Amino acid sequence: MPNHYHLLLRPKFDDSLTKFMKKLNIGYAKYFNEKYKRSGALFEGRYKSVLVVDKSHFIHLPYYIHLNPLDLKFPEWRNREIKNYKEAMKFLENYRWSSFPA
């Protein structure tokens, strides 16, 4: 996704997610900004976290995360209106920033 990413994480300690996300985002922004001689934020807004309590929510999340890149080329997927499923699957299998192929 050009302006955000999704992770499914299980923190070991109460404050570990906040610390991890801070290090990840600040570290990557610093690297990216130095590499491309720019400044400022890379992603839209602050990070958001959602506590997963229900099993049904947990089962749904990997599908949401892996299908989310379809918004870039096949936004109709959310309405279940994809006309060419093979092309959509090929896009997901070749989308560089996803663990979908794994």
Query: So what's the pLDDT on residue 1?
Result: 78
Q: 87 in helix, strand or coil? A: helix
pLDDT, tens digit, 9 for 90 and up, residues 31-47: 999 999 999 888 878 88
Query: So what's the pLDDT on residue 46?
Result: 83
pLDDT, tens digit, 9 for 90 and up, residues 79-94: 999 999 999 999 999 9
Instruction: Count CB-CB contacts under 10 A for residue 60.
Output: 12
| Summary mean pLDDT of the chain | 92
CA distances in angstroms from 67 to 5, 6, 63, listed in the order given: 12, 11, 6
Answer for the pair 49, 16: CB distance below 8 angstroms, yes or no: no
Token pair for residue 15? Answer: 């404050």
Token pair for residue 80? Answer: 């279940």
- Going from N- to C-terminal start, the domains of the chain cover 14-48, 50-102
Percentages (nearest 5) of helix, strand, coil residues in the chain = 50, 0, 50
